[in-house]
Amino acid sequence: MVDVDERPGRLAAGAGLLCLALVAFVVGTDDFVVAGVLPGLAGGFAVSEAVAAQLVSVFSVVYAVAAPVLAVATARLPRRAVLGVGLAVFALANAGAVVASSFGVLMAMRVLAALAGASVTPVAFAVAAGMAPPGREGRYIGTVAGGLTLALVAGVPAGTWLSGMWGWRATFGFVAVLAGVAALVVPALLPRLPGGPRLRMRRRLALLTRPPIVAAVLGTVVGASYGLMSYTYIAPIARELSGADVDGLAVLILVVGAVGAAGTVVGGRLTDRLGADRALVGSCAVQVVATGGLAALGLAGPGGVPLAAVAAVFAGWGLAGWAFNPPMNARLLALSGPAGTEAVALNSSALYLGIAMGGGLGGVAFSGYGVSGVTVTATALGLVTVVLLAASVARYPTRRAGG
């Protein structure tokens, strides 16, 4: 975190905040875009798409394991140095992917990219909160989270289009260029920020095992499991409910991404106005209602729901789901004190774990009961999440932003 007396001026903070959003945009684009290039990549290396998909799994697992470890290891280093070096390594990893001569080499480059991404993303969120004036922490965190949603709306479509035009190597080249630009711009424009306070390693780890942090991270695991389950199966859900074709699905995904970007802004403002605790539980509850709405629409039968109605419900789902991010991180930072970056990193690991669990549970539900199995399972997990978060907030409240 940044000491109050060391907060940069308004102009410097604005430039720095945009730099931090750029970090999230670059890492998010690289993370999400791989799924769109799997068919071409599999063909290029003569492997099955199932084997090629392990690139996504390996990235997620490495990121989840490495994020808290790297956060602790780099806690005392200047923030600009951590971001600059991490982005440079990220650029090199993607450049290496462009010239990869075998699937094994490409896999190694994805591991390196995951390590680099895990070293910079939690830092970006923690630095944003530390730079913020009192009472505006949520908006600053929301701006960085907006970089992730912008990756879905702009970065991923651009990378996928490049793959269609010039092959999958062009996509990794695109990400390498983005990361290279960020590696130059971020250290140049981000205000000089010191590392975290001097704490023994044992003390840092002890802070992460306190009951408030454990409860918050558990809420993230369950929340991510239900929250991303519906999006993972958005194609069969849209097809089952409204008979949506490829073009309709593309429009639906665009709507969800655009609304999600707005959700990060809304979540940040609600965090500053209501406090992280109330904004967190409220956004989760609204997303559960939207998920339950998808389950209810299934009662109309196959193809019985207009695509516009499906899009409207998914829009509410995306708005609330991305509004969840700012209060979630703001609450963790408030609870963790001097170990803020490490707590955000641990929460990132929980997020990836929850996404993996949600995909597995959704697959079982879909195999057994189809689309209705996915939406009902997601709704049930969502209700569990609301209860967990409400209990955690009641037991371990945080001070309202600006209060």
Mean pLDDT of 209-213: 85
| pLDDT for the residue numbered 196 | 56
Category of 78 on φ-ψ map: left (φ > 0), alpha (ψ -120 to 50) or beta: beta
Q: Which of 246-250, 306-310, 321-325, 345-349 has the lowest mean pLDDT?
A: 246-250
**pLDDT tens string 75-95:** 788 888 999 999 999 999 999
Q: For residue 207, what pLDDT band results from cuts at 50, 70 and 90?
A: low
For residues 27 and 22, give the distance between their C-alpha atoms in angstroms, rounded to a whole number.
Answer: 9
For residues 109 and 43, give the distance between their C-alpha atoms in angstroms, rounded to a whole number.
Answer: 19
Q: For residue 401, what pLDDT band results from cuts at 50, 70 and 90?
A: very low
Higher pLDDT residue, 99 or 234? Answer: 99
For residues 343 and 366, give the distance between their C-alpha atoms in angstroms, rounded to a whole number.
Answer: 34
- Residue type for position 119: S
Q: Tokens 């097809």 map to which residue? A: 239
| pLDDT for the residue numbered 402 | 44
For residue 152, what is the DSSP state? I
Mean pLDDT of 248-253: 80
| pLDDT for the residue numbered 97 | 95
- Residue type for position 76: R
Higher pLDDT residue, 296 or 231? Answer: 296
Domains of the chain, with CATH numbers? Answer: 4-196 (1.20.1250.20), 203-395 (1.20.1250.20)
| pLDDT for the residue numbered 172 | 95
For residues 57 and 122, give the distance between their C-alpha atoms in angstroms, rounded to a whole number.
Answer: 20
Q: Which of 137-151, 279-293, 364-378 has the lowest mean pLDDT?
A: 137-151
- Residue type for position 106: L
| Opening angle at CA 303, ends 297 and 309, nearest 5 | 45
Q: Which of 124-138, 186-200, 232-246 has the lowest mean pLDDT?
A: 186-200
For residues 276 and 347, give the distance between their C-alpha atoms in angstroms, rounded to a whole number.
Answer: 15
Q: What percent of the chain has pLDDT over 70?
A: 91
Q: For residue 108, what pLDDT band results from cuts at 50, 70 and 90?
A: very high
Say what angle helices 168-189 and 38-45 make with each other, to 10 degrees. 120
Mean pLDDT of 14-32: 88
Please say whether the beta carbons of 204 and 72 come within 8 A: yes
Measured CA distances, 69 to 193, 205, 300, 349, 402 (Å): 21, 10, 48, 10, 31
For residues 386 and 226, give the distance between their C-alpha atoms in angstroms, rounded to a whole number.
Answer: 11
Q: What percent of the chain has pLDDT over 90?
A: 34
Q: For residue 169, what pLDDT band results from cuts at 50, 70 and 90?
A: very high
| pLDDT for the residue numbered 8 | 53
Q: Which of 167-176, 186-195, 224-233 has the lowest mean pLDDT?
A: 186-195
Mean pLDDT of 350-355: 82
For residues 163 and 323, give the distance between their C-alpha atoms in angstroms, rounded to a whole number.
Answer: 31
Tokens read off for 238: 């849209």
Category of 23 on φ-ψ map: left (φ > 0), alpha (ψ -120 to 50) or beta: alpha
Category of 197 on φ-ψ map: left (φ > 0), alpha (ψ -120 to 50) or beta: beta
Mean pLDDT of 188-204: 64
Say what angle helices 246-274 and 276-297 make with each other, to 10 degrees. 150
**pLDDT exceeds cutoff 80 at 250:** no
Q: For residue 201, what pLDDT band results from cuts at 50, 70 and 90?
A: low
